[in-house]
Amino acid sequence: MYTILVVDDSPFVVDVFVTMLERGGYRTVAAYGGEECLEILKTVIPDLILLDIMMEPMDGWETLEHIKENPATKDIPVLMLTAKQLTPAEAQEYGIYIEDYVLKPITHRELYDAIEHVLNRRQTLKQDVETAQKAGFGMEIINEYARLAKSIDVNQRLMKILESTYNFNDSKVSVSDEISRAIKSMETNIKFQETRLQQIRSELAGAVTSNLSA
């Protein structure tokens, strides 16, 4: 059973998500703010954190930075939870730290799907890394593969949110030049990462095939 830490400065919101998660078979821990979250993480290491952005006095982004700066907690997957619109600047600055961005309100199924997507992706990457290590690849290229695979998936999901938020594909809606440039920059970066990831996958696949035929 997976343990999920729910962080929000609204007790009502925390209770709602705790109830939803427990119905889905997850074990839960509640924190009513960023400071309490960091305090709990000193003794509890959850499988995943649902972290609200709009909190006071420590908001979700600041809390996220503290989590990722701590060697003991930096590998815990974090889903940002909010009703606030995601900005391109936030997507670019924090995309490397988060696993997904969950918009409120959200249905039980949408929440479970988001959580399972993250946990399944981590398990798949773990298996891929183990396969690459057995094939004799160095940790530098293995770590690059894992980083790119996660980054592409996260950024693609963030792009969908941004496009929906700003109606980027609707010619009737005016999007500022700054937002347009930021989204185009993300698209270009994703394409570059996809090209490099495909190169690495080809190398890994070739090595595995060689080992099997040896």
Residues 106-131: what's their mean pLDDT? 91
Residue 211 binned pLDDT confidence (cut-offs 50, 70, 90): low
Give the closest residue to 81 by CA, choosing from 59, 56, 65.
59
Cβ-Cβ contacts under 8 Å for 39 (sequence gap 6 or more) = 31
Record the pTM.
Answer: 0.83
Structural tokens at position 40: 């709990």
**DSSP-assigned states of every residue in 82-115:** ESSPPPHHHHHHHTTT-SEEEESS--HHHHHHHH
Rounded to 5 degrees, φ, ψ at 101 are -130, 110
Q: pLDDT tens for residues 54-79?
A: 999 999 999 999 999 999 999 999 99
**DSSP-assigned states of every residue in 143-167:** HHHHHHHHHHHHHHHHHHHHHHHTT
Mean pLDDT taken over the chain: 88
pLDDT of 152 over the 80 cut: yes
